[in-house]
Amino acid sequence: MIDKKTSNDILVLKKFIQAYCNMKHKDIQKQSRMIKGPLSFYLKAAPGLCNECIKTLLFAASKRLTCPFIPKPQCKHCTDYCYKEPYRSNIKKIMKFSGIYFIKHGRLDPLWKYLF
């Protein structure tokens, strides 16, 4: 059964990582991949992302699926961090950049999910 909240969380991760990759990794060759396994319910395909961002998206989505807390707290308020380095610093950098990017471009819907 697909949980709507989990699906929305993974969709927001995908949007944030895609915005980051499109702006920061312009010169790197991008590719789309079909996703197989448990993540295929949430990510039909990884959008045109570089290899580093695809790895980050798959890692973050898998961690979201295996979060032991119900309801899931925001990661910044969590007591048990599931992200290990270097993914932890990388996802912080992505969220910060993409949050500012969406505010500057008038897109508040992904930010609304991230903040609340």
* pLDDT tens sequence across 49-59: 888 888 888 88
Three-class secondary structure of residue 66 per DSSP? coil
Three-class secondary structure of residue 28 per DSSP? coil
**Amino acid identity at 113:** K
Contact at 8 Å (CB) between 42 and 10? yes
Q: Which of 85, 113, 84, 111 is nearest to 98 (CA)?
A: 111
Residue 14 φ then ψ, to 5°: -60, -45
Average pLDDT, the chain: 79
pLDDT bracket for residue 1 (50, 70, 90): very low
Residues composing the chain = 116
Q: pLDDT by residue (tens digit) across 57-87?
A: 888 888 888 888 777 777 777 777 778 888 8
Q: Which residue has the higher pLDDT, 109 or 55?
A: 55
pLDDT bracket for residue 108 (50, 70, 90): low
pLDDT bracket for residue 93 (50, 70, 90): very high
> Taking the CA atoms of the chain, what radius of gyration do you get in angstroms?
14
Residue 31: strand pairing partners = 49
Looking at 33-37, 56-60, 73-77, 110-114, which range is the least confident one?
110-114
pLDDT bracket for residue 20 (50, 70, 90): very high
* Whole-angstrom distance, CA of residue 53 vs CA of residue 16: 10
Helix (H) or strand (E) holding 53: helix 51-65
